[in-house]
Amino acid sequence: MSPNAFYLLASLLFSIGLVGLVSRKNLFVLYMSIELMLSAVSLLLATLSKVLGEAGGSVISLLIIGVIASEAAVFLAMIINLYRSKKTLDSDRFNALREGARND
Protein backbone atom coordinates (compact mmCIF):
# COMPACT_ATOMS: atom_id res chain seq x y z
CA MET A 1 0.00 0.00 0.00
CA SER A 2 1.30 3.44 -0.87
CA PRO A 3 2.42 5.53 2.11
CA ASN A 4 1.07 8.69 0.48
CA ALA A 5 -2.38 8.16 1.96
CA PHE A 6 -0.83 7.97 5.43
CA TYR A 7 1.20 11.13 4.86
CA LEU A 8 -1.99 12.88 3.75
CA LEU A 9 -3.91 11.64 6.79
CA ALA A 10 -1.10 12.69 9.15
CA SER A 11 -0.90 16.19 7.68
CA LEU A 12 -4.70 16.51 7.78
CA LEU A 13 -4.79 15.51 11.45
CA PHE A 14 -1.96 17.89 12.29
CA SER A 15 -3.70 20.76 10.50
CA ILE A 16 -7.01 20.03 12.20
CA GLY A 17 -5.20 20.12 15.52
CA LEU A 18 -3.47 23.40 14.72
CA VAL A 19 -6.68 25.06 13.51
CA GLY A 20 -8.52 23.80 16.58
CA LEU A 21 -5.81 25.22 18.83
CA VAL A 22 -6.00 28.62 17.18
CA SER A 23 -9.77 28.98 16.80
CA ARG A 24 -11.38 27.23 19.77
CA LYS A 25 -11.68 28.54 23.31
CA ASN A 26 -12.78 25.62 25.44
CA LEU A 27 -9.79 24.30 27.36
CA PHE A 28 -10.73 20.67 26.76
CA VAL A 29 -10.85 21.26 23.02
CA LEU A 30 -7.47 22.99 23.21
CA TYR A 31 -6.10 19.99 25.04
CA MET A 32 -7.56 17.56 22.49
CA SER A 33 -6.13 19.62 19.63
CA ILE A 34 -2.63 19.39 21.07
CA GLU A 35 -3.00 15.64 21.54
CA LEU A 36 -4.27 15.36 17.96
CA MET A 37 -1.17 17.15 16.71
CA LEU A 38 1.12 14.83 18.66
CA SER A 39 -0.82 11.77 17.50
CA ALA A 40 -0.51 12.92 13.90
CA VAL A 41 3.27 13.05 14.38
CA SER A 42 3.08 9.60 15.91
CA LEU A 43 1.29 8.27 12.82
CA LEU A 44 3.82 9.95 10.56
CA LEU A 45 6.69 8.33 12.46
CA ALA A 46 5.10 4.90 12.31
CA THR A 47 4.59 5.27 8.55
CA LEU A 48 8.17 6.43 8.02
CA SER A 49 9.41 3.54 10.10
CA LYS A 50 7.57 1.13 7.78
CA VAL A 51 8.80 2.90 4.64
CA LEU A 52 12.43 2.97 5.79
CA GLY A 53 12.20 -0.57 7.09
CA GLU A 54 13.64 0.43 10.43
CA ALA A 55 12.15 -0.03 13.88
CA GLY A 56 13.40 3.29 15.29
CA GLY A 57 10.40 5.32 14.17
CA SER A 58 7.91 3.00 15.83
CA VAL A 59 9.86 3.19 19.08
CA ILE A 60 9.79 6.99 18.91
CA SER A 61 6.03 6.95 18.40
CA LEU A 62 5.68 4.75 21.49
CA LEU A 63 7.78 7.30 23.42
CA ILE A 64 5.48 10.07 22.19
CA ILE A 65 2.50 8.20 23.64
CA GLY A 66 4.32 8.23 26.98
CA VAL A 67 4.91 11.97 26.72
CA ILE A 68 1.24 12.52 25.77
CA ALA A 69 0.18 10.61 28.88
CA SER A 70 2.38 12.65 31.22
CA GLU A 71 1.25 15.89 29.60
CA ALA A 72 -2.37 14.78 30.07
CA ALA A 73 -1.81 14.39 33.81
CA VAL A 74 -0.55 17.97 34.21
CA PHE A 75 -3.07 19.46 31.79
CA LEU A 76 -6.12 17.81 33.36
CA ALA A 77 -5.01 18.82 36.85
CA MET A 78 -4.78 22.40 35.60
CA ILE A 79 -8.24 22.23 33.99
CA ILE A 80 -9.76 21.04 37.27
CA ASN A 81 -8.04 23.84 39.15
CA LEU A 82 -9.19 26.48 36.65
CA TYR A 83 -12.76 25.18 36.72
CA ARG A 84 -12.80 25.38 40.51
CA SER A 85 -11.79 29.02 40.50
CA LYS A 86 -14.22 30.40 37.90
CA LYS A 87 -16.72 27.61 37.12
CA THR A 88 -15.97 27.91 33.42
CA LEU A 89 -13.58 26.44 30.90
CA ASP A 90 -13.66 29.32 28.44
CA SER A 91 -10.02 30.35 28.09
CA ASP A 92 -11.00 33.95 27.29
CA ARG A 93 -12.45 34.39 30.77
CA PHE A 94 -9.03 33.95 32.33
CA ASN A 95 -7.62 37.36 31.60
CA ALA A 96 -6.56 38.66 35.00
CA LEU A 97 -2.84 38.77 34.22
CA ARG A 98 -2.01 42.33 33.35
CA GLU A 99 -0.30 45.37 34.82
CA GLY A 100 -2.95 45.90 37.46
CA ALA A 101 -2.79 42.42 38.95
CA ARG A 102 -0.80 43.26 42.03
CA ASN A 103 -2.04 40.81 44.63
CA ASP A 104 0.53 38.18 45.41
DSSP 53: T
Say if CB 46 and CB 57 are below 8 A apart: yes
Task: Say whether residue 92 binds another protein (CB under 8 A).
Answer: no
Q: For residue 54, which phi and psi values (nearest 5 degrees)?
A: -135, 145
- E-strand stretches of 23-75: none
Task: Say whether residue 76 binds another protein (CB under 8 A).
Answer: no
Task: Say whether residue 57 binds another protein (CB under 8 A).
Answer: yes
User: Which residues make up the interface to another protein (CB under 8 A)?
Assistant: 14, 17-18, 21, 27, 30, 34, 37-38, 41, 44-45, 48, 51-52, 54, 56-57, 60, 63-64, 67, 70-71, 74-75, 77-78, 81-82, 85-86, 91, 94-97, 99, 101-104
